[in-house]
A and B are shown apart, each in its own frame.
Chain A
Amino acid sequence: EVQLVESGGGLVQPGGFLRLSCEASGFTFSSYELNWVRQAPGKGLEWLSYISDSGNTVYYADSVEGRFTMSRDNAKNSLYLQMNSLRAEDTAVYYCVRDGTPGTFGMVHFDNWGQGTLVTVSS
């Protein structure tokens, strides 16, 4: 069974930083591309970033480009999101999400989602 388990969320002050982790199991982690998607309270879904299977290619949404860094460690079956210069509008549940088919360079649906981790940016 595919499992994606996020951790690292919490309360942080504006301008602060946080590092989210996603531990994967149940599939060949190094073969799949992954994404981060967030959802502000009561709002819709916002795609944030994509990383290729090797980690060599990363794309970001404009809203987080330059502030967030996505990375992965295939030896540890883990995905990361380093979030710097956090703002109140970054308050959301952050989901680790798997691409539905390996090797499609992000042009594919999302077939598995983690349970999410809540990040609250407030003073």
Chain B
Amino acid sequence: DIQMTQSPSTLSASVGDRVTITCRASQTIDSWLAWYQQKPGKAPKLLIYKASTLESGVPSRFSGSGSGTEFTLTISSQQPDDFATYFCQQYKRFPITFGRGTRLEIK
């Protein structure tokens, strides 16, 4: 199975901060990576797919980059609505696997 390692597990940030979350795959997944945002009690929401393609309706302050085994999700200017948990996911092959999540907290 492909292991997805996310870091950090928790991140404290202030409104307006630039935030970066990293996801590392245990083997190459090319660009077959997605990022999701989840708020408490809600289902995950797709933000980015194919490593860097922004899902329709997602604010442009979100961006993704990387390929192979190293990927990043960046929020250019953290907004109050962005405090949530973020997960990466690989879909290169089955079983589909997720990172353990990064909880973004208010500093």
Residues of A with C-beta under 8 A to B36: 45, 110
Q: Does chain B have a CB within 8 A of A44?
A: yes
Which chain A positions have C-beta within 8 A of B96? 35, 47, 50, 106
Interface contact A110-B34, CB-CB below 8 Å: yes
Minimum CB distance partner of A111 in chain B: B46
For A61, give the chain B residue with the smallest CB separation: B95
| B interface residue count range (under 10 / 10 to 19 / 20 to 34 / 35 or more) | 20 to 34
Query: Given A59-B94, A106-B96, A109-B34, A45–B46 Cβ distance below 8 Å?
Result: no
Answer whether residue A11 sits at the interface, using C-beta atoms and an 8 A cutoff. no
Q: Does B107 contact A (CB under 8 A)?
A: no
- In the complex the two chains form, is B94's CB within 8 Å of A46's CB? no
The CA of A109 and the CA of B47, in the complex, are separated in Å by 10
Q: A46, B98: Cβ atoms under 8 Å? A: yes
In the bound assembly, the distance between CA atoms of A47 and B93 in angstroms comes to: 12
Which residues of A sit under 8 angstroms from B99, Cβ to Cβ?
A: 44
Residues from chain B with Cβ under 8 Å of A110 in the complex = 34, 36, 44, 46, 89
Q: Is A113 an interface residue (CB 8 A)?
A: yes
Per the 8 Å Cβ criterion, residues 55-91 of A in contact with B are 59, 61-62
Which chain A residues have a beta carbon within 8 Å of chain B's beta carbons? 35, 44-47, 50, 59, 61-62, 95, 100, 106-111, 113-116
> Hey, which bits of chain B sit against chain A, CB under 8 A?
32, 34, 36, 42-46, 49-50, 55, 87, 89, 91-101
